[in-house]
Chains A and B, each alone.
Chain A
């Protein structure tokens, strides 16, 4: 296998790794800290709501 081809494969692998790890962790931790509290608030309200 030529060196240039190996280089392309390595770059592509690094891109995929960055997408799956770095981007994914950014989505999980830094993007939206309200998610847990809002969901919990909606759920706790649902169980306490008794209607009109």
Chain B
């Protein structure tokens, strides 16, 4: 019987860590959209940035929120680009971003969709990624996808995934569910 109590205790303590996390994305404390990251992934609400990245006197960009599994070479990040306001601008932004991050970019399929009343645009493709921060400096052939959405009147949201092809296959369904969970949050001005 005591073994049962011990087992129940362990399960109760570990369950919250494994449950899907409903994450509310905020800009300056105001909620903009919510999303669920894949089960068990660690969510990194990134407000920090390299001191060298931001020019002096320029306003800080909206936070980049990423999540990651315990195993698998990938990056999955979501943020709002407040410099653009429509999907046509978003396409130009994606082209510029992928050229900045990768080599040998090839954009593959393009799709549209609607989730929770928001229009989405999806792009996927392949590229070569060189991790500039890695001491190994190894070039990796990667797959990527980008989903654009408009959670408010100002700015466009983007979810960007980059991963090794084998990792993409492993997490495809979870990533799809995460994208489909993105929904706008009515801005009440209350910090939630």
Contact = CB atoms under 8 A, between A and B. Distances in A.
A35 B83 contact: no
Interface of B: 2, 5-6, 9-10, 13-14, 17, 42, 44, 46, 49-50, 53-55, 58, 61, 64, 66, 68-75, 77, 79, 81, 83-84, 89, 92-93, 96-97, 100-101, 129, 131-134, 160, 162
A12 B54 contact: no
Chain A interface size band reads 20 to 34
Interface in A3-33: 4-5, 8, 11-12, 15-16, 19, 23, 26-27, 31-33
A4 B2 contact: yes
B73 A32 contact: yes
B134 A32 contact: no
B54 A43 contact: yes
Main secondary structure of the interface of A (DSSP, over half): helix
Nearest to B17: A19
Closest 4 CB pairs of A and B: A37-B133, A38-B75, A45-B100, A32-B68
Contact of A37 (B6, B10, B134): B134
A44 to B, nearest CB: 5
Given A19-B14, A49-B93, A41 B101 contact: yes
Nearest to A36: B133
21 contacts: A8-B2, A16-B13, A23-B70, A32-B75, A33-B73, A33-B131, A33-B133, A34-B74, A34-B162, A37-B132, A37-B133, A39-B49, A39-B77, A40-B53, A41-B101, A41-B132, A42-B64, A47-B54, A47-B55, A49-B93, A51-B89
